[in-house]
Amino acid sequence: MHKFKVPGAELAWSFSDESGQPVVQLHGLTSSRYRDRVLDLDLGRGLSGTQLLRYDARGHGHSTGRREPEDYRWPALAEDLLALLDHWFPDEQVHGVGPSMGTGTLLHAAMRAPEKFSGFTLMLPPTAWATRTAQAGDYRRLAEFIEQHGMERFVAASTQMPRPPATIGTPETVPHVSGELLPSIYRGAAMSDLPTPEQIASLDIPTTILAWVDDPSHPLSTAQALVELLPSATLQVAHTPQDVAGWPIILAADVERSASHNDRPAARSQAGSSG
C-alpha cells in the first residue's frame, strides 16, 4: 500500500493517471476513500481523462495518525493536502472535490495557496460560524461517550439517528476510524470552523456547491452563505438519491471547465495505482 509521510502520520493514497486536468478528491469526517464509495459520494468514479489523486485523511481509512486533537483541525489537514499537491502536482493547478470535512480542508488550503486551485466542487458544506458552536459541543460529547462506553455502543447508537432523504437506500456503514483515534478526531473537528466570511469572499475560484436537504450536520444555510460569499459559485440541492446520482456528471463538467481555464502544462508524469 502506498503511503505519503507528513508530520505525525502516513497518508494512504491512490492515483489514476489518464493525463489531463489534475483533480484531488477528499472525503468527510470518519469516512475514507472506501467508505465514500459505499455511500455513493465517490464522485471521481465517473471521471476519465484526468489525473485523479484520492487519499485518506490522517487517522482515517488506511492512513495513520496520533492521539492529538490538534492534528485533526481543518487547517492542519489543509497542510497535509498542500504537501500532497506540492509532491504530485508541483507546477499545475488542481480541481478540488470533497464533502464536509473535505470542503473545510479545501477552503483552508485555498486560503494558504489560492493559486494552487483551478476550481472546486464542494459537497455537503458542514456547520459553520453561528451553527458551529452547537456542533462542536456534540463532537466533544461524542468523544467522551466513546471513551466511556466504547465503539460498539457508539456505533449502535449512531444507527438510530435519522438519515437525510437523499441518502435513503445507501448501506449502513460504520466510521472507518479506529476507536483509539476517534475521540481525538472528534475533538479536532470541534476545534475547527470554515475560514471567516471575509476570507471566503476573497476566493475568486470557480465553485459548484452540492448540498442536500434535512441534514443538521450539513445545513443548507452554510451552502447558501457560501454561494453568496464566493465571487464565482453556484448551488445545486439534492432531495432524492436520484439527485445525488447525478453529482458525478456535475463534477465532470466542473473539471472540464477547470481544464479550459488552466493554461499550465500537464508536465507531471509519475505513474501511480491503488493505495
pLDDT tens, 160-174? 788 999 999 988 899
* The pLDDT value given to residue 273: 32
DSSP code at position 208: E
* The pLDDT value given to residue 262: 67
Domain boundaries 3-261, corresponding CATH code? 3.40.50.1820
Q: What is the pTM of this model?
A: 0.94
Residue 86 identity: D
Please answer whether residues 80 and 9 qualify as being in contact, where contact means their C-beta atoms are separated by less than 8 angstroms: yes
Query: What distances in angstroms separate CA 29 from CA 62, 176, 261, one per listed residue?
Result: 14, 9, 31
* The pLDDT value given to residue 46: 80
Phi, psi of 20 (to 5 degrees): 85, -160
* The pLDDT value given to residue 172: 86
Instruction: List the beta strands (DSSP E) in the chain.
Output: 3-6, 9-17, 21-25, 50-55, 94-99, 117-123, 207-212, 233-238
* The pLDDT value given to residue 182: 98
Share of the chain above pLDDT 70, in %: 95
Q: Is the pLDDT of residue 1 over 80?
A: no
User: Which sequence spans correspond to the domains of the chain?
Assistant: 3-261
Beta pairing, strands 50-55 & 9-17: antiparallel
Query: What distances in angstroms separate CA 234 from CA 224, 227, 272, one per listed residue?
Result: 9, 6, 33
* The pLDDT value given to residue 2: 87
* The pLDDT value given to residue 188: 98
Q: Using DSSP, state whether 98 is helix, strand or coil.
A: strand
Task: Point out which residues pair with 25 in neighbouring strands.
Answer: 54, 97
Q: Is the pLDDT of residue 129 over 80?
A: yes
pLDDT tens, 47-85? 999 999 999 999 999 999 999 999 999 999 999 999 999
pLDDT band at 266 (very low <50, low <70, confident <90, very high): very low
pLDDT band at 106 (very low <50, low <70, confident <90, very high): very high
